Amino acid sequence: MRLLAFIFESASVGEWLVLLAVALIVVGPKRLPETARKLGQAYAKLRRGAEGLKRELFELDAELTRAASDAGSEANDFFKIEGDEASAPPALEA
């Protein structure tokens, strides 16, 4: 949505009219609605794909963070000696 806002804010009305005129000349008035629809569908598909990728990356990050936290806890438990917590390596202390 921010990309669309950037595009609409960065182009003036005159620039949009020139773009529309060029599109009419290149595509033609009969195929312009079909072409615009296909571009809109492609943009929507691209956004859905990007959102899915973003969601998967956040889930992977959360999973890796949990795994690192669990590994750190297990390492601390491994190095802990009963009654002598000072013997654990400094990098592994919570």
pLDDT score for 57: 93
**What are the tens digits of pLDDT across the range 41-88?**
999 999 999 999 999 999 999 999 988 888 877 777 777 754 455 555
Cβ pair 79, 71 in contact under 8 A: no
Buried b (16+ CB within 10 A) or exposed e, 71-84: eeeeeeeeeeeeee
Q: Where are the beta strands (DSSP E) in 1-94?
A: none
Which residue shows structure tokens 């959360």? 62
Q: What's this model's pTM, rounded to 2 decimal places?
A: 0.51
CA dist 54 and 37 (Å) reads 26
Residue 61 Cα to chain centre, angstroms: 12
